């Protein structure tokens, strides 16, 4: 950086010296040459180094012109109107080229940034593709192998083995279904959907979601604090359901059976607020954004599709809300979701 | 049903593999099975064969599933079980609004499908039997006396609350859409008043449910409607 800076100013001074040296022997014959060459020097400096060096070459050029080539020679007296006009011309050229140069540099940086971004996106896509093909291939392989064995066994299969193979086929098919549904849900959310905001009672939705995911949560003691006396709010219940179900399923995967989970729901001025706390291992600060990325699994396990939290966050954001992680007083993670309560939409639409 | 030994099922789906595997599953559980691969032949088959239950895929070529529901309902009360893929969430609500009884999300397990078919047939039978007293655990609704008790304690309901409960309870285990409940239970003038429906449901739960914020009998189907759960 510093070297670049020094180089630019060196160019500025050098342009003055070279232009002056080249003009001196020819000056008596070509009276306009010094001004033209010094101007060319300003132009070169401005396009290479920008404003700062250009100003230096303007001042240097003007002084050289005044000292060597204007009457009286070898003094810095400004006598002729021409010299002052030279100065104006110098500054004008310097400004113009300096501006162009600055713009060029911004454009170049932008192009560089865009290329980097595209490269990162491509890289992320390749990684996602690798995960997807792995997650699809593994269950498919298990299913194909089991089916072929059942159809063409090398030796007669025992009843136990047949039962086991059929079990594998069903379990792996379930895994595929889970994965494909999650991938479809993610694609739908990423494509962008218009929230369908209706009057809803928060408590009954949270309660319905809890009933549905109860088999997954198993024996975990539940604290449910979403009073049925809360006022109604206008939000997309389907999207809230999707976010909360994915969140709870994620908690079921990442916390030990029997550890407590708590849900608190409130209608606040800022919107509809849900806090889901668990007593699991918690999520360190450095990981709190990464866990929401697609196909991201903190511990490499066979559980889950790596899309649950990504779907939960996308579903919250699809209706203008957010989902983030804090520390829980229960020792694990606290997921905070807030979605807007858009009561005024109808009024706005009517106008 | 209808006096015969085994109930008959009409399956409507345009995928031959789905039809083949469904047929195997249903026949092995004693159902008589007919199939149709599009909406028009499905309507004809319903008129001719008079099935006891219809399994209807929503994504059909030509006449779509929702339209089939609507036309079928104009002359038949046969239970319709909609099979829908997750991508057609909106269509699912439309189909229920058009008169479908229940839905199963594809892909489903055979156990789940059989349970839904049994529930649909039971409901149909109950409708024919016209039992005037509905019992669901501690909840008893006497439709003749318009009297509701929970654990032998009489519950006083407003006419709207009672009507809402009656519509729900006479359709056990069936998802009733917001639109359907507003039309039938709250009546004209309330068709768009979802906030009113929520308020009535909340009042009803506070009077009936043992734990109103974690309701047992009146179950929420988020973004779709409500369902009455009869078993305790």
pLDDT digits 0-9 by tens, B117-138: 998 898 888 777 777 888 888 9
Q: Which of A8-12, A303-307, B161-165 has the highest mean pLDDT?
A: B161-165
Q: Regarding beta strands A198-200 and A233-235, do their DSSP bridges make them parallel or antiparallel, or are they unpaired?
A: antiparallel
- Beta-carbon contacts of B192 under 8 Å, excluding residues fewer than 6 positions away, are B182
* Minimum CA–CA partner of B85 in chain A: A181
Q: B216: which 2 tokens?
A: 């047992």
For residues B192 and A44, the model is more confident at: A44
* pLDDT over threshold 60, residue A152: yes
Q: B142: which 2 tokens?
A: 């006497």
pLDDT digits 0-9 by tens, A50-66: 778 888 888 888 888 88
Cβ separation B86–A184 shorter than 8 A = yes
Which of A177, A207, A238 comes nearest B215 by C-beta?
A: A207
Residues across chain B: 232
* pLDDT over threshold 80, residue A217: yes
Cβ separation B213–A177 shorter than 8 A = no
* pLDDT over threshold 80, residue A131: no
> What is the mean pLDDT of the segment spanning A284-305?
74
| Alpha carbons A18 and A8: distance in angstroms, whole number | 15
H helical segments located in chain B: 16-28, 39-49, 65-73, 89-97, 110-129, 159-169, 178-181, 194-208
Cβ separation B87–A181 shorter than 8 A = no
- For residue B52, report the phi and psi dihedrals to the nearest 5 degrees: -85, -25
Question: Which residues in chain A are contacts of B201 at CB distance < 8 A?
Answer: 201, 204
Q: What is the pTM of this model?
A: 0.74
Which of B198, B213, B219 comes nearest A226 by C-beta?
A: B213
Per mean pLDDT, which range of A211-225, A311-325, B117-131 is the poorest?
A: B117-131
Question: Which residues in chain B are contacts of A227 at CB distance < 8 A?
Answer: 213
| Alpha carbons A166 and A157: distance in angstroms, whole number | 12
Q: Are B113 and B99 in contact (CB under 8 A)?
A: no
CA dihedral B208, B210, B214, B216 (to 10 degrees): -70
| Alpha carbons A5 and A28: distance in angstroms, whole number | 36
Residue ranges of chain B with per-residue pLDDT less than 50 = 1-3
> What is the mean pLDDT of the segment spanning A178-203?
90
* Minimum CA–CA partner of A176 in chain B: B107
Q: What is the pLDDT of residue A260?
A: 94
Termini Cα distance of chain A = 56
pLDDT digits 0-9 by tens, A65-101: 888 877 777 777 766 666 677 778 777 877 887 788 8
Kindly list the distances between the CA atom of residue B142 and the CA atoms of B186, B202, B210, in Å, as whole numbers in the listed order: 20, 22, 20
- Beta-carbon contacts of B161 under 8 Å, excluding residues fewer than 6 positions away, are B200, B203, B204, B207
Which of B86, B89, B198 comes nearest A201 by C-beta?
A: B198
Q: What is the pLDDT of residue B4?
A: 53
Confidence of residue A347 (pLDDT cuts 50, 70, 90): very low
Burial class (CB in 10 A: 0-12, 13-18, 19+), B182: buried
| Alpha carbons A38 and B51: distance in angstroms, whole number | 99
For residues A174 and A87, the model is more confident at: A174
Q: B33: which 2 tokens?
A: 């099975």
* Minimum CA–CA partner of A237 in chain B: B223
- What ipTM was reported for this prediction? 0.85
What is the least distance, in Å, from the CA of B232 to any CA of chain A? 14
**B interface residues, A as partner, C-beta within 8 Å:** 86-87, 89, 107, 178, 194-195, 198-199, 201-202, 205-206, 212-215, 219-223
* pLDDT over threshold 60, residue A341: yes
Q: What is the pLDDT of residue A129?
A: 79
pLDDT digits 0-9 by tens, A231-281: 999 999 999 999 999 999 999 988 999 999 999 999 999 999 999 999 988
């Amino acid at each position: 950086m510093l070297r670049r800076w020094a180089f630019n100013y060196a160019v500025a001074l050098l342009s003055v010296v070279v232009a002056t040296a080249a003009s001196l022997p020819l000056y008596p014959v070509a009276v306009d040459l010094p001004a033209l060459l010094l101007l060319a020097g300003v132009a070169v400096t401005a396009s290479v180094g920008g404003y700062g060096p250009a100003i230096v070459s303007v001042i240097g050029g003007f002084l050289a012109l005044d000292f060597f080539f204007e009457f009286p020679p070898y003094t810095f007296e400004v006598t002729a109107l021409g010299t002052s006009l030279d100065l104006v011309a110098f500054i004008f050229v310097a400004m113009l080229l300096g501006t162009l140069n600055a713009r060029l540099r911004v454009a170049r940086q932008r192009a560089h940034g865009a290329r980097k971004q595209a490269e990162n996106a491509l890289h992320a896509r390749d990684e996602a593709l690798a995960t997807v093909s792995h997650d699809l291939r593994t269950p498919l392989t298990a299913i194909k192998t089991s089916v072929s064995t059942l159809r063409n066994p090398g030796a007669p299969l025992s009843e136990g083995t047949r039962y086991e193979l059929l079990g594998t086929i069903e379990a792996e098919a379930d895994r595929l279904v889970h994965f494909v549904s999650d991938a479809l849900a993610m694609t739908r959310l990423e494509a962008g959907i218009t929230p369908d905001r209706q009057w809803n009672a928060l408590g009954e939705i949270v309660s319905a979601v809890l009933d549905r995911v109860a088999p997954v949560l198993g024996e975990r003691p539940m604290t449910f604090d979403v009073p049925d006396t809360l006022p109604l709010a206008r939000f997309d219940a389907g999207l809230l359901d999707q976010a909360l179900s994915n969140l709870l399923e994620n908690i079921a995967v990442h916390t030990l059976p029997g550890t407590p989970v708590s849900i608190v729901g409130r209608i606040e001025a800022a919107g509809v607020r849900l806090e889901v706390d668990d007593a699991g291992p918690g999520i360190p600060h450095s990981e709190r954004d990464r866990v929401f990325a697609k196909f991201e699994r903190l511990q490499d396990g066979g559980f889950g599709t790596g899309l649950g939290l990504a779907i939960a966050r996308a579903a919250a954001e699809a209706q203008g809300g957010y989902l983030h992680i804090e520390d829980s007083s229960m020792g694990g993670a606290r997921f905070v979701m807030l979605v807007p309560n858009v009561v005024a939409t109808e009024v706005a639409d009517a106008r | 049903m209808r006096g015969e030994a085994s109930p008959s099922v009409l399956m409507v789906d345009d995928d031959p593999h789905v039809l083949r595997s469904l047929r195997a599953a249903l026949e092995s559980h004693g159902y008589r099975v007919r199939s149709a691969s599009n909406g028009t032949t499905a309507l004809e088959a319903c008129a001719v064969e008079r099935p006891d239950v219809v399994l209807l895929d929503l994504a059909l070529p030509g006449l779509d599933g929702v339209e089939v529901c609507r036309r079928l309902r104009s002359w038949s009360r046969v239970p319709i079980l909609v099979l829908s893929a997750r991508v057609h969430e909106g269509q699912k609500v439309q189909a229920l609004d058009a008169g479908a009884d229940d839905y199963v999300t594809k892909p489903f397990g055979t156990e789940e499908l059989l349970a839904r078919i049994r529930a649909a047939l039971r409901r149909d039978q109950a409708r024919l039997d016209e039992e005037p007293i509905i019992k669901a655990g501690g909840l008893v609704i006497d439709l003749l006396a318009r009297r509701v008790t929970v654990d032998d304690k009489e519950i006083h309901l407003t006419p709207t609350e009672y009507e809402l409960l009656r519509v729900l309870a006479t359709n056990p285990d069936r998802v009733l859409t917001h639109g359907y409940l507003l039309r039938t239970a709250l009546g004209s003038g309330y068709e768009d008043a979802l906030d009113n429906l929520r308020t009535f449901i909340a009042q009803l739960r506070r009077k009936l449910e043992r734990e109103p914020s974690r309701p047992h009998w009146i179950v929420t189907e988020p973004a779709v409607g409500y369902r009455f759960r009869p078993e305790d």
